[in-house]
A and B are shown apart, each in its own frame.
Chain A
Amino acid sequence: MSGSSNIVAMKKVVQQLRFEANINRVKVSQAAAELQQFCIQNAVHDPLLTGVSSSTNPFRTQKVCSFL
């Protein structure tokens, strides 16, 4: 019983590994350069990175009314 289960499970593992071994890959240098390029291009649109002016920040500290 456990013997044939092992065979079926092992066949599945081998098939998965065959699939993964045949993936097309690129060099890490190219992949890293593209990740960096994405960062540079989108940095201006990232409020957490560049900061957001207090007038437009919806989570700005609520001001205390000076007349109270």
Chain B
Amino acid sequence: MCDQTFLAITFGPCDKCSENKPLMNIYLKNEPINYCSLCVEMMACQGLAKGETVQSLKAESESLKAKLEEERAKLHDVELHQVAEKMEALGQFVMKTRRTLKGHGNKVLCMDWCRDKRRIVSSSQDGKVIVWDAYTTNKEHAVTMPCTWVMACAYAPSGCAVACGGLDNKCSVYPLSLDKNENLASKKKSVAMHTNYLSSCSFTKSDMQILTSSGDGTCALWDVESGQLLQSFHGHSADVLSLDLAPSETGSTFVSGGCDKKANVWDMRSGQNVQSFETHDSDINSVKYYPSGDAFASGSDDATCRLYDLRADREVAIYSKDSIIFGASSVDFSLSGRLLFAGYNDYNINVWDVLKGTRVAILFGHENRVSTVRVSPDGTAFCSGSWDNTLRIWA
């Protein structure tokens, strides 16, 4: 999913010396700064007053990385599956498609459940966003976006709005009403504005704020009403592909994963990157918090899913088999966190025992790669979206 982003030279008044010059757009502690090249050089030389050079900074960076590895290894006294050795193994696991939602004209790229456990919003490469009644498979709303490849969609907590976006670089919010004749497109509100495609979006605890991730390498928090940027999160060195909010009880952090093979944990208020994990061998396509909020899972193009514990600050489990060679595109936990559902590019959904690290089921049915899996809010079913243009509900 990487595409080239070219550096654009901008011209204008320097924030420091106020002269009109070519500007270098940089960030200092998440603050965007437009300095001319001379002011950037002078600022960098101030840093060098302590004897710092690129070489010394690089050396310190390497030693800090080594220290990090040493600290993490020191506390690695046992494996997760060893702790779970005495647990009773999961019994026979039977799951099948209960509903098939047909109607998209092209690849389904994203879906989300409503809090009412019944409605689903899905988005597609054909530019359509559809709201379904999952019990009856009826379509309740349909919106055609002005741009195709709608790669992100999310239901508002109140169930009265949906947000979506994709190659248009924007996140648009559509209020849903009970009036079937109402034109949803006329009520659209454009909230987020990134400089590259929108890869994921999620409402925070209310309908008032939305968190987005983008191919421009950043995540951002926006006020829905005013469209104002509340906080930006800089630290990924390539596209950000996925984000997930921590469960409500554990405070205001979220996790993001991207093409730089890193998963970052952020504090939403300060914009600080509080933790980073870089053990995957390829792009991280999906991240999902463990229901307790103390860990998260990631799915990657390296065909593995991994579990990272935030208090141990390290990877604690890896879910893979030699026979699984296709990338994992989406992951989600069951309510207790015992099961991990992962959709793969080989058209299958693998179900993993999180504690024992074993695969307990493999679900066949989709006829093209699975793009998204999401467990319903009450945990009675999960929905998968696929490039075969359909969504399936499994239980």
B335 touches A42 (CB 8 A): yes
Q: Which of chain A's residues has its CB closest to B40's CB? A: A4
Given A4-B44, A38-B336, decide whether A48 and B379 contact each other with a Cβ distance below 8 A: yes
User: Would you list 7 pairs from A and B whose C-beta atoms are within 8 A, ordered by A residue?
Assistant: A7-B53, A7-B57, A30-B311, A35-B295, A46-B334, A49-B339, A59-B99
CA distance in complex: A3, B280 (Å): 30
How many chain A residues touch B (Cβ–Cβ < 8 Å)?
A: 48
B337 touches A26 (CB 8 A): no
B312 touches A25 (CB 8 A): yes
CA distance in complex: A41, B336 (Å): 8
Interface residues of B (CB under 8 A from A): 24, 26-28, 37, 40-41, 43-44, 47-48, 52-54, 57-58, 60-61, 64-65, 67-68, 71-72, 75-80, 83-84, 87, 90, 95, 98-99, 117-118, 134-135, 235, 272-276, 290-292, 294-295, 309, 311-314, 316, 334-339, 354-355, 375, 378-382, 393, 395
How far apart are B56's CB and chain A's nearest CB, in angstroms?
9
CA distance in complex: A25, B294 (Å): 12
Q: Quick check: is A1 within 8 A (CB to CB) of the other chain?
A: yes
CA distance in complex: A24, B64 (Å): 15
Q: Which of chain A's residues has its CB closest to B58's CB? A: A10
Which of B68, B118, B294, B379 makes the CB contact (< 8 A) with A35?
Answer: B294
Which of B61, B75, B375 makes the CB contact (< 8 A) with A10?
Answer: B61
What residues of chain A lie closer than 8 Å to B235, measured between beta carbons?
Answer: 16
A36 touches B355 (CB 8 A): yes
Given A16-B273, A35-B292, decide whether A28 and B335 contact each other with a Cβ distance below 8 A: no
Given A5-B24, A35-B355, A36-B355, decide whether A13 and B335 contact each other with a Cβ distance below 8 A: no
What residues of chain B lie closer than 8 Å to A16, measured between beta carbons?
Answer: 235, 273, 276
Which of A13, A18, A49 makes the CB contact (< 8 A) with B334?
Answer: A49
CA distance in complex: A68, B64 (Å): 74
Given A13-B61, A39-B338, decide whether A29 and B77 contact each other with a Cβ distance below 8 A: yes
A35 touches B290 (CB 8 A): yes
- Bits for A45-65, please: 1 = Cβ < 8 Å to B, else 0: 111110010000111110000
- Bits for A7-42, please: 1 = Cβ < 8 Å to B, else 0: 110111110111111010111111111111011111
A46 touches B336 (CB 8 A): yes
Leading 4 A-B pairs by shortest Cβ distance: A46-B336, A42-B336, A59-B98, A17-B64
What residues of chain A lie closer than 8 Å to B354, measured between beta carbons?
Answer: 35, 39
B40 touches A59 (CB 8 A): no
CA distance in complex: A31, B273 (Å): 21
Q: Which of chain B's residues has its CB closest to A51's CB? A: B94
How far apart are B381's CB and chain A's nearest CB, in angstroms?
5
Which of A3, A6, A40, A58 makes the CB contact (< 8 A) with B118?
Answer: A58
B379 touches A47 (CB 8 A): yes
Residue from A20, A31, A33, A43 whose CB has the most chain B CB atoms within 10 Å = A31
B84 touches A36 (CB 8 A): yes
Given A10-B57, A35-B290, A49-B334, decide whether A26 and B311 contact each other with a Cβ distance below 8 A: yes
